[in-house]
Amino acid sequence: MSQTEGRRSRPSWSFPEYTPVGTDLNSPSAVASYDRNQGTDIAVDNALLDRLGVATGTCLVDLGCGTGSLVVQAARRGAEAHGVDVGQEMLVHARRRARQFGVTPSWHQAGFLDYVHRAAPADVVTTKSALHQLPDFWKQQALLHAAAMLRPGGTLYLWDVMFSFDPTEAEDHLQQWIDSASRPPGEGFTRTDFETHVREEFSTYTWILEGMIERAGLEIISRSFPRSTHGEFVCRKRPPTLRA
């Protein structure tokens, strides 16, 4: 086991979260085109921050922050914002974005599993389009770790590719997603990117995620699955149970 500042030591059998899974988004060219491909939008970030009540003084941690748009917008409204990502190139881009907006959030090259949150307990932990990078066993560990960062009553927001379709209809739903979302090279994520996601990344069923969230000590406040392949959970950390 090795210890790096800002990361906790992990056993040698831990998931190798710094090894890219599926499409590698961390090459310089992939990072440069990421915001266009993903449709990063400041207005969407701010609408989410409004929903989550992020304001001056809120401590927010974004796990798998990518190019850092949500973190930068949180910092602009006075939050104590932390962006966590395994990808060095992503963080280079995120730092540049922060400089452009004149804010100084904290950036951590760390993962879902090994990030050490040294600041005050978080009011809000967010993770968007990233948890699927971990197989299910490790998603559960990541959710436990995220819950441990939160203050009791704090909020976990999870958005990701997740499957709410009937498993017997998986092939139709996945093919429809790939067909409708794919763009020509240079215009967005390609058919190859989406096919790679389904084949090699670890998106899972919403009902599996629900069980994991509950077991992490979080209560699901709301769930929304606008597409059969995408969805969100808003969750609240339960207060500690009193032992007699």
Ligand X SMILES: C[S@@+](CC[C@H](N)C(=O)[O-])C[C@H]1O[C@@H](n2cnc3c(N)ncnc32)[C@H](O)[C@@H]1O
Binding residues for ligand X (CB under 6 A):
17, 25-26, 38, 40, 63-66, 84-87, 90, 111-112, 128-130, 133-134
188 in Cβ contact with 157 (< 8 Å): no
Query: Among the residues of 86-233, which ranges form H helices?
Result: 88-101, 136-149, 170-181, 191-200, 206-215
CA angle 240, 147, 42 (to 5 degrees): 135
Nearer residue to ligand X within complex by CB, 196 or 238: 196
CB of 239 to ligand X, least distance (A): 27
Residue nearest to ligand X (CB): 66
CB of 64 to ligand X, least distance (A): 3
Nearer residue to ligand X within complex by CB, 92 or 220: 92
Nearer residue to ligand X within complex by CB, 37 or 238: 37
CB of 168 to ligand X, least distance (A): 28
Nearer residue to ligand X within complex by CB, 38 or 238: 38
Residue 230 in 3-state DSSP?
A: strand
For 220, the enclosing helix (H) or strand (E) is: strand 218-227
CB of 102 to ligand X, least distance (A): 21
Closest residue by Cα to residue 92 from 39, 41, 26: 26
Return the exposure string of 93-125: e unless at least 16 CB atoms fall within 10 Å of the residue's CB, then b: bbbebbeeeebebbbbbbbbbbbbbeeeebbbb
Nearer residue to ligand X within complex by CB, 14 or 176: 14
CB of 217 to ligand X, least distance (A): 20
Alpha-carbon distance of 226 to 122, in angstroms, equals 28
